[in-house]
Structure 1
């Protein structure tokens, strides 16, 4: 039977505690060295390289002339998708669209900063974006919805989806239906580092894009780092992470059930139950094998690898303060708080991609149907990053208008600062020279 790690913070050295905070993509040097050749091949060979890599890496029979999904592909996907899956996707899409429409900033604002002096911002959509939808360990139409809907709400005129082809050489049917549901007609058979290279530099079929968003494997994350000088690669979204924070009022069996949610994504995921209640910890550990027994072999294997590996399991803190400190130091992608009064802990949480409060708010709901984006910062980027949002698809431009009565005072102070900093032309532009020119 797979052992579930129990990390007792009271007995851990500082180095051992630090190791619990690491992520699988903490050191991508090995991946970065290998993606360079992939990127170079795509730049040089275009679609031919994409087709070759699909055959080599995805074991998928893709030809260079068939990288883009056709209308026939979209129609076949619509016919193949089960009605209940489509209904669930429509339900999710409505929530996602509603949330991101509420998030959309106003097109322009101006405030009177001083009498007669106005300053504000104008917001415009970015010109293009590629949404990366992974497929290696399953099919993820929810990622297609989460990444493309806020781009549509923001008004991005050119939106493309890149996703690895399956062993039959086709794009996942639900992903194609999700794309059509959002109003996106450009979906391409490309995954991994080669997809990142394609949307960074362009190929015969895939256009170069201004930005790429969406979660991916360490190969994808490494490739994004390598092309960051060419395009906006956004906040890193790598392998899944979860902390379930449970106090003494929580049901350990429920905590164990929810701990499996992100641990089943893959062996490179990270998942911890953090609690200061030994009763909760022991109840969770006792319940988990029964949950595993009901899972399929692949997902059970992923979960067992995580919870029995170096960055997963149960973390037992001495008290509430130590548990909260661990959560903030880790900065999880997903944080679920199980307690009779979960809002009591909300103010103490400084770093998390998302926070789900209470026993009726499992990560599953956040991942699929509530509306906030499930593309979240990983690998500690929650310290400074935010969930994918409408703001990722817009750019803001400062707008200034100064009236004649407001100008003299502003000019006097600006001239003083420009002179102090040694900028002669700056100072001249707000000197008596301008006064004479304005008088005509």
Structure 2
């Protein structure tokens, strides 16, 4: 197990410590160069380009301009193909996700009296159309459908559309269709990667253009979102998975190692670190990894080993828990597990994490599939300024103002003083005695 990356923070230079927080998508220059032509082809050729890219990139057989959109029959067939216990698990998860986001939803409008006779507030209305990106390259992800579709439905977005790569059979993943219908979305397009982002932005003969796109994706998707940010709102930055397991001396290192592998198995571009102040925990985790790998599938072993033996994952030993928490804040992880018998003691020390899971019974698995909070989270240090996908990501906020005749004089007086000071004569005129001529007695 000597190949697993093992770092002691006190032995690292400032640059070496900074290198630990780098993500696989930090440099997108290669992808930005490659996705540009893809975007242009979709813009020019529409459906035909989606068929070409689906055939070439996704190796989808039988994909045509006539079947780019899933049909009602495709949805019905999916419920026959997916096992009952999986359908029930999807329903269970969506029920919790829906209830969480209903609680999260803001009041449609509020107004407060800021000054006698002057009122201000906010109004929330749904965005007219949102694209939901559901990846497929390294597996099947109905959970992403659950997490993106459900808050969109709660927000009452009138046009929600799922974009997901077709499989080799030219069809949409059956569990994704089950999750979509269960959540309340029945528009699903067979398109993935940069070409899906372009289709959502510009529209095609089949695809209706959208105002915004949400959902995690590969660096190809991230690069396309960045290039098209002036055409479509790219939403929060959601790229390859990342996790930090923060563990103190009260837990077994083998348990920490088990949870470290949850996000590491997503793909070779994931990031996964165990950060602990306990050398015992670190060594126990290192010793337990082979046992956990023995219970995983070959592909997931390969992915997680690539992560944990490379520059984006492994074990970090801190001087103490203050140092460990400081490193977590430097890292700004997508997922953070605080593994301790007293996790709330450390919660106040964490300021930079998109999702914080407390204790030994709250692994990322439960949060990803069943708990309720959204598991579409900002990556690549996006947690420094972004939060998880929420119901408000599917809404636009408008400020509301209403001033009565009673409230007008003091606001106008003070506004005119500042308008004059800043040199805006029309601003000042609009609240001067010139306005009085237009008021009816």
- Quote how far apart the aligned CAs of 1:159 are: 0.4
Q: Are residues 1:47 and 2:51 paired?
A: no
Q: Are residues 1:367 and 2:368 paired?
A: yes
- Quote how far apart the aligned CAs of 1:437 are: 2.3
Match of 1:156, SS state, is coil
Aligned positions of 1:285-434 closer than 5 A = 285-434=286-435
- Equivalent residues of 1:246, 1:273 under 8 A apart: yes
Rounded Cα–Cα distance in structure 1 between residues aligned with 2:10 and 2:410: 62
Point out where structure 2 has 5 or more consecutive residues left out of the alignment: none
- Quote how far apart the aligned CAs of 1:66 are: 1.1
- Quote how far apart the aligned CAs of 1:55 are: 1.0
Rounded Cα–Cα distance in structure 2 between residues aligned with 1:85 and 1:405: 62
- Quote how far apart the aligned CAs of 1:125 are: 0.4
Rounded Cα–Cα distance in structure 2 between residues aligned with 1:399 and 1:294: 57
Q: Are residues 1:137 and 2:138 paired?
A: yes
Point out where structure 1 has 5 or more consecutive residues left out of the alignment: none
Rounded Cα–Cα distance in structure 1 between residues aligned with 2:438 and 2:295: 82
Rounded Cα–Cα distance in structure 2 between residues aligned with 1:370 and 1:5: 32
- Equivalent residues of 1:117, 1:402 under 8 A apart: yes
Q: What's the Cα RMSD here?
A: 0.9
- Quote how far apart the aligned CAs of 1:2 are: 7.1
Aligned positions of 1:228-239 closer than 5 A = 228-239=229-240
Deviations 1:184-204 (A, max 9, x none): 121010000000000000011
1:95 equivalent in structure 2: 96
- Equivalent residues of 1:341, 1:358 under 8 A apart: yes
1:110 equivalent in structure 2: 111
Rounded Cα–Cα distance in structure 1 between residues aligned with 2:401 and 2:10: 57
Rounded Cα–Cα distance in structure 2 between residues aligned with 1:2 and 1:192: 36
Aligned positions of 1:23-102 closer than 5 A = 23-61=23-61, 62-102=63-103
Deviations 1:283-303 (A, max 9, x none): 000001110011111000000
- Equivalent residues of 1:331, 1:383 under 8 A apart: yes
Rounded Cα–Cα distance in structure 1 between residues aligned with 2:294 and 2:252: 20
Deviations 1:45-83 (A, max 9, x none): 111111111111111121122100011111111111100
TM-score computed with the length of structure 2 as normaliser: 0.99
Rounded Cα–Cα distance in structure 1 between residues aligned with 2:440 and 2:207: 56
- Equivalent residues of 1:2, 1:304 under 8 A apart: no
Match of 2:439, SS state, is helix
Deviations 1:104-145 (A, max 9, x none): 000110000011111111110000001000000000001001
1:244 equivalent in structure 2: 245
- Equivalent residues of 2:150, 2:184 under 8 A apart: no
Rounded Cα–Cα distance in structure 2 between residues aligned with 1:344 and 1:183: 40
- Equivalent residues of 2:149, 2:184 under 8 A apart: no
Match of 2:163, SS state, is strand
Match of 1:64, SS state, is coil
Rounded Cα–Cα distance in structure 2 between residues aligned with 1:2 and 1:271: 17
Rounded Cα–Cα distance in structure 1 between residues aligned with 2:167 and 2:325: 42
Match of 1:130, SS state, is strand
Deviations 1:378-407 (A, max 9, x none): 000100001000010011111111111111
Q: Are residues 1:166 and 2:171 paired?
A: no
1:213 equivalent in structure 2: 214
- Equivalent residues of 2:5, 2:308 under 8 A apart: yes
Q: Are residues 1:6 and 2:21 paired?
A: no
2:275 equivalent in structure 1: 274
Match of 1:23, SS state, is coil
Rounded Cα–Cα distance in structure 2 between residues aligned with 1:252 and 1:147: 34
Match of 1:215, SS state, is coil
- Quote how far apart the aligned CAs of 1:436 are: 2.8
- Quote how far apart the aligned CAs of 1:439 are: 4.6
2:197 equivalent in structure 1: 196
Deviations 1:131-188 (A, max 9, x none): 0000000000010010011000001000000000111111000011111112212101
Rounded Cα–Cα distance in structure 2 between residues aligned with 1:80 and 1:320: 49
